[in-house]
Amino acid sequence: MSLSIELNQGKTSPLGASINSNGINFAVYAPLAKQLYVCLFDSSGHTEVLKLAMNNNEGGIWSLFITPLPAGTLYGYRAEGEYQPKKGLYFNSQKLLIDPYAKDLFGEFTWSERHYSQMPIGTLSSVNNAIDMPKSRVSELQPYTGAKPLHSWGKTIIYECHVKGATARHPDIPAHLQGKYLGLSHAVFIEHLRDLGVTTLELLPVHSFISEQFLTGKGLQNYWGYNTLNFFTPHKDYLVNDEIAEFQEMVSQLHNAEIEVILDVVYNHTAEAGTDGPLLSWRGLNNPGYYRSLHDNPQVYINDTGCGNTLNIDDPYSLKMVLDSLRYWVEVMGVDGFRFDLATILGRTAHGFTQAHSFIQAINQDPVLSQVKLIAEPWDIGPGGYQLGAFPAPWREWNDKYRDVVRRFWCGEHNMLPELAKRLHGSFDLFEHNLRGPLNSINFITSHDGFTLADSVSYKEKHNEANGEHNRDGHSANYSFNCGAEGFSDDPHVTALRLQQQKNMLLTLLLSKGVPMLASGSEMAHSQGGNNNAYCQNNRTSWLAWKDSQRRHPLTRFIDDVLTLRKKHCVFKHSVFLHDSDKRFAVNWFTEHGEAMQESDWHDGSKQFLMYSLHDRQLETALLIILNASDVIVECSLPKVERGNWHLEVSSVDKNTDKSTKQFNVAAQSSWVFQLI
């Protein structure tokens, strides 16, 4: 690196490192610091060659323009100021800090005592941590220019998957692409998604993340990625050639196949953890602004995330960072939307959750972000943390009540019919009150968190011993049913029932009003061996097993069949709830005798049979759906119709039933769909 450089005041916007002519402008927000430095490193990232004082500007932004300086320059920040934890101040110039706005990182993060401000405890550390820190790297991608699919919510079918786990074991994807962004955009994986009928890929976190130290000490890794190191940089382990443009390329190839990309984003906490956590970035620049703490005791972090800290979205510059990050991923990286982890935190002030929070208002008025897909995980562990149904339009929400009710019904629980009916038709009780419709409900049976679909019919209890926490982690209320044997079984009766039960839940999911989300591996009966919290299992426990038999798995064909049927019927695209006053669509409920259900039928807690029709008066089409969760055969009469006949389209059981029959025996624990022809 040439030492013949010129230094100028620099601009305060944009924040981060930006390329301007033949130089680089650096800008960082640190309002309580006494002095900020840009530290430049050689190309190896090992040697700090220059430490340059930045200039303080109004509003607490420090800036410096350095010329000549090329793209690819490696750098970090150091901050001088008070080290007073009781005041919430953690300035320590010996700690190299990642630029919160870094678009690229270079090198590996290594856990060591060098990252901690007090080492040993009670003694201010004077040890330089640069050797163990990734360096920020100056990078500037051009904005994304590809055409986006723009699928309406009524046509959206979401497939939630992990970048690595989806393709790490796929034999038809070249080895160097397996488990990478470019593996997801490989032709064979795209073909698989299209064969299923998927329109939208939802990726577990791809923001740069690190494993928690307690995991690395046990020889484990953070696999899911909910431990963010930087909000602008793609996770580098998923790159083939360490080029962040590969993410853009992946998005472009998926868009060319008419598949959208949604990111699971974690703007609720960071990898800096709690009071005894490391100094990596935000804590060392503006701890009181970036993190929420007790008003009368700033050294105590509010821990509404369960991860040690909680991002303070009430602070204007924290809010700006999150919004800038979101726009970057839309405008530069090309993504189509976001699923917000622990989204309640993003709408919580000191007085509790409000849909009028500045974050939600900012999103809704933003000309870019208001136009993308927005999905909330509407809960956290903080006070008033469960807010399902409380987000405003145009937000969608993960509906865990849907998940639990459907599972409980197919497990054979009684007294489920009234609530099941609400969930099947979009959960009007949750969304209609604030002028939203059934398409605001993201319906799912399984996700990355919890049992897989196959494990939900193979295990009664969780089996998380491999996580190293003596099976104490993970949910205990799984609403699962092992079909008569815990875990693996070669009993043909057990395996047949397990397949049938998976089909039952898939059929229910894919023919419910709302937006269906499939967890990856559901289509091939992927098992995690009963582990319902595989966040630290970066191995074959989590990676999909792509065998020839799996690619032709009966569940893959079943999903395709049901989704093909769903796409033919406009009722699933209807954006408002069905009521008796609806002029086009009607829903009717029947007993097993083909007669209209009465109030007494709904309140008969012993009933585990539900039959209903969905009519489209305009197109003169209709579906009849039958769900029998009981363990006995039910003699059934199909409801009478004025014209045409009911024709069997799909069922979870392989029966030689007359496809135009009016009466038949509904097998125990089975589901059926008829179409009016």
What pLDDT was estimated at residue 240?
A: 98
CA angle (193, 185, 337) in 5-degree steps: 75
* Residue that terminates a domain, selected from 137, 155, 186: 137
End-to-end CA distance of the chain: 76
Asked whether the predicted pLDDT for residue 100 surpasses 60, the reply is yes
**pLDDT tens digits, residue range 492-531?**
999 999 999 999 999 999 999 999 999 999 999 999 999 9
- For residue 645, give the CATH number of its domain: 2.60.40.1180
Mean per-residue pLDDT for 337-360?
Answer: 95
**pLDDT tens digits, residue range 204-241?**
999 999 999 999 999 999 999 999 999 999 999 999 99
Asked whether the predicted pLDDT for residue 660 surpasses 70, the reply is no
Mean per-residue pLDDT for 548-569?
Answer: 88
612 close to 672: Cβ distance less than 8 angstroms: no
Give the residue with greater pLDDT, 123 vs 25.
25
Instruction: Determine the structural domain holding residue 38 and report its residue range.
Output: 6-137
Claim: this prediction has a pTM higher than 0.95: yes
Flag whether 115 is in a domain: yes
What pLDDT was estimated at residue 658?
A: 58
Find the DSSP H helices in 291-387.
Answer: 316-331, 358-365
What pLDDT was estimated at residue 25?
A: 98
Flag whether 190 is in a domain: no
Catalytic residue among 377, 380, 397, 649: 377
- Tally of domains within the chain: 2
The model's confidence at residue 417, banded by pLDDT at 50, 70 and 90, is very high
Give dist(CA 322, CA 341) in Å, integer.
13
Flag whether 640 is in a domain: yes
Which residues neighbour 373 within 8 Å (Cβ) at sequence distance 6 or greater?
153, 156, 200, 260, 262, 336, 337, 338, 396
Asked whether the predicted pLDDT for residue 562 surpasses 60, the reply is yes
Q: Which of these ranges, 372-386, 425-439, 538-552, has the smallest mean pLDDT?
A: 538-552
**What is the DSSP-derived secondary structure letter of residue 237?**
G
Q: Which of these ranges, 42-51, 298-307, 439-448, 657-666, has the smallest mean pLDDT?
A: 657-666
Q: Which of 150, 254, 257, 152 is nearest to 203 (CA)?
A: 254
What pLDDT was estimated at residue 314?
A: 96
The label of the residue with tokens 């740069």 reads 208
**pLDDT tens digits, residue range 302-317?**
999 999 999 999 999 9
Catalytic residue among 99, 212, 304, 341: 341
What pLDDT was estimated at residue 117?
A: 85
Q: Where are the beta strands (DSSP E) in 193-346?
A: 200-203, 260-265, 293-294, 297-301, 337-340
Q: What is the mean pLDDT of the chain?
A: 95
Asked whether the predicted pLDDT for residue 281 surpasses 70, the reply is yes
* Residue that terminates a domain, selected from 86, 108, 137: 137
What pLDDT was estimated at residue 645?
A: 94
The model's confidence at residue 124, banded by pLDDT at 50, 70 and 90, is confident
**pLDDT tens digits, residue range 576-615?**
999 988 999 999 999 999 999 999 999 999 999 999 999 9
What pLDDT was estimated at residue 657?
A: 58
What pLDDT was estimated at residue 121?
A: 66
Asked whether the predicted pLDDT for residue 550 surpasses 60, the reply is no
- For residue 32, give the CATH number of its domain: 2.60.40.10
Flag whether 632 is in a domain: yes
**pLDDT tens digits, residue range 361-375?**
999 999 999 999 999
Q: Is 318 left (phi over 0), alpha (psi -120 to 50) or beta?
A: alpha
Flag whether 571 is in a domain: no
* Annotation says 272 is catalytic: no
* Annotation says 341 is catalytic: yes
* Residue that terminates a domain, selected from 89, 107, 137: 137
Flag whether 321 is in a domain: no
Flag whether 503 is in a domain: no
Flag whether 354 is in a domain: no
The model's confidence at residue 655, banded by pLDDT at 50, 70 and 90, is low
What pLDDT was estimated at residue 656?
A: 58
